[in-house]
Amino acid sequence: MKKKNKYIVLLFIAIISLLTVVLVQINMDTKSKETEKVENTADKEKEQGGKEETDINVITGTDKKIEELLENMTLEEKIGQLMMVGFKGTEKSSEITELIEQKHIGGVIYFDRNMKSPKQVAKLSNSLQQSADRSSHSLPLMVAVDQEGGDIIRMRERVSPIPSQQELGENASVEDMYRVAKLNGTELNSMGININFAPVLDLSKTDNRSLGKDPEKVYQYGTKAIQGLNDASVTGALKHFPGNGRSEIDPHVETSSVEANQLDLENSDIYPFKKIISEMDNQKFFVMVTHIKYPAYDKEKPASLSKVIIEDLLRGKLGFEGLVVTDDLEMGAVNKYFSYKDMGKEAILAGADLLLVCHEYSHELEVYNGLLEAVKAGEVPMERINESTKRVLTYKLYNMKQTKVDPGQAAKVVKSPESLEYINSLNLEK
């Protein structure tokens, strides 16, 4: 009996020991899982933190590169970046090559004279970008066009028939405005064009380039136009600040004045610009300034050469932080009253960042050399040049990631059956 009791005690002890081992193991497994969970969470947080850190590093790195470029660039290189020029021919000429590679010109603008087919335009864009890459600092080239729609369409027979802004404003929805702008931008982007000088925000009942007379509607449709272009990797431009819809004189030919007080202008003509500037990322669009005069702000100078309008109104009152581009400096509204040598100087002093000279090589050289001389003579502060150069560099380094395009793809994308079908479905002629 004593022996049996002894076995029972030993069995009980064995069972207790076994249970103890099992409980210890369970406890260890639980702790192990908790530890693993904590480690996994830490790893995820580290990964997420790393991603954020990478994004911050990218931004910081880009900003650092901009500052380094600004410090290392010569005056000639900086002035070149502040110009956008036109040229003749469907292939890269010796003149445009010299302007890009030797004068460091920041951008070009295409007209019908440069465009024969989508494939040819894409090849031309690639060729010009190669020249830009060979120039000092290898800064990408801004390639622009006026592709508003309606009467203002380059290479009309080979691209989709983009409706006029008047047609869209009168008969299309804001969503249609977006889709047309994106279609337009997709075609331009496939040809290596990264800037479209559109939409027009001028208020007018009769001008087919205008979205209409209602400031609120023009703002809403203009917003959709910018968004559509942006979503096709194209930068738009609001024009013609501060709004020249009241003028019946073509600034290509002659100057004119808009006789309205500041309150009236800011509640109507300027309203679409003001709203878009306040609500959208200012790096996603340019503002083009007209050559028309606005005596309510500046009795002497046209808007494009007026510090009151560009610096005080556009930058100060409206808070615009992006690139300001002049309308073509070869227009009669300014070239009849200012020399090319002086125009570049006056526009930069007024606050413009990008000087648009669209046609003659000799005029482009005069603007370039005139500004260069003005800086060397102390007439234009170096700080003013650096300010605009930094804006150009910021735009290029943050927005221009891919510049080479596929000419074969351009031929397929531009005026595709799907694009034609969509535009025809709008049925805008009512």
Kindly report, residue by residue over 93-147, the tens digit of the pLDDT. Answer: 999 999 999 999 999 999 999 999 999 999 999 999 999 999 888 999 999 999 9
pLDDT at position 344 over 70: yes
* pLDDT (mean) for 43-49: 39
The whole-angstrom separation of Cα 335 and Cα 328 is: 10
Min mean pLDDT across 6-15, 101-110, 286-295 is at: 6-15
Q: Of the given ranges (177-181, 250-254, 399-403), which has the lowest mean pLDDT?
A: 250-254
pLDDT of 22 higher than 70: no
How much is the pLDDT for 334? 87
Mean pLDDT across 18-26: 49
Of residues 238 and 50, more confidently modeled: 238
User: What gap in Å lies between CA 322 and CA 284, rounded to an integer?
Assistant: 8
Q: How confident is the model at residue 38 (pLDDT cuts 50, 70, 90)?
A: very low
Nearest to 395 by CA among 244, 287, 318, 316: 287
Task: Give the pLDDT of residue 402.
Answer: 84
- From CA 4, how far away is CA 239, in angstroms rounded? 106
Q: What is the pTM of this model?
A: 0.85
Q: In terms of Cα–Cα distance, which of 316, 300, 378, 376 is closest to 351?
A: 316
User: How high is the pLDDT of residue 16?
Assistant: 56
Q: Residues with Cβ < 8 Å from 144, sequence gap 6 or more?
A: 84, 107, 108, 109, 110, 193, 194, 195, 196, 197
Query: Taking all residues of the chain, what is their mean pLDDT, rounded to a whole number?
Result: 88
Per-residue confidence band for 401, with pLDDT thresholds at 50, 70 and 90: confident
Q: In whole angstroms, give the CA distance from residue 78 to residue 76.
A: 5
Contact 296, 265 (CB under 8 A): yes
- Model confidence at 428, in pLDDT bands (50, 70, 90)? confident
Mark 334-349 as b/e (b = at least 16 C-beta within 10 Å).
beeebebbbbbbbbbb
- Angle at CA 397, nearest 5°, toward 406 and 352? 110
Percent of the chain with pLDDT over 70: 83
Q: Is the pLDDT of residue 198 over 90?
A: yes
The reported pLDDT for the residue numbered 251 is: 61
Specify which of 9-13, 29-33, 134-138, 368-372 reaches the highest per-range mean pLDDT.
Answer: 368-372
Condensed to tens digits (0 to 9), the pLDDT of residues 201-252 reads 999 999 999 999 999 999 999 999 999 999 999 999 999 999 987 766 566 6
Residue 54 pLDDT exceeds 50: no
pLDDT of residue 254: 55
Which of the residue ranges 252-266, 296-310, 343-357, 366-380 would you say has the lowest mean pLDDT?
Answer: 252-266
